[in-house]
Amino acid sequence: MIDQEITYVSYLVQFDDLSDEGELQNNQKNMNQAPKRTGFPYGRMLDHVWSQLKRTATPGACDKFAKSAVEFFIIGQLQKRNNRKLDRMPTIEEFIPMRRATIGCGMVEANERDNRQKNEDTRCRYEEDMVKCVKGWGCVKDRGITKIQARNGIKNENNT
């Protein structure tokens, strides 16, 4: 399963850059449209990841991947895109699930749950750590703001 996670996270990094800084950043129509299977490089990449996963993983792992990794990631990307378009800063309660989705935590958390069942000492603390980070920073780029706005927000937080 770890090979599939690594491959998928590599895909996510590329696709995330495309939606954050690339051609999908300001194009809601393209973000909402299903890519053609072979006409879109990122579609081909995802098809490759999916084919590899189906060859090596159990049907249950494939279902987890499809549900928690792909669907939540795309939904999170659309939420992030809409927040930027509306110049809206989500609350921490809105941000945490969106952020978890946009960085592909579904597969990692599913794997951690499987490991926890084998070893009770292993704990999944991602969400708790994310809340601490967000509260500590006061302002985060992936909430839908630019790096400059994030830096200014952090400076303002530190000056008050």
The reply to whether 53 falls in a domain is yes
Tens-digit pLDDT profile for the chain (160 aa)?
Answer: 556 666 666 666 666 656 665 555 555 555 555 555 556 666 677 777 778 778 877 787 778 777 766 667 777 777 777 887 888 888 888 887 777 776 666 655 555 555 555 444 434 444 555 555 555 544 444 444 444 544 455 444 444 4
What gap in Å lies between CA 3 and CA 85, rounded to an integer?
Answer: 36
pLDDT value at position 4? 61
pLDDT value at position 143? 44
The reply to whether 133 falls in a domain is no
Q: What is the pTM of this model?
A: 0.45
Query: How many structural domains compose the chain?
Result: 1
Give the residue numbers spanning the domain of 48: 2-123
pLDDT value at position 7? 65
pLDDT value at position 141? 45
The reply to whether 147 falls in a domain is no
The reply to whether 34 falls in a domain is yes
pLDDT value at position 154? 45
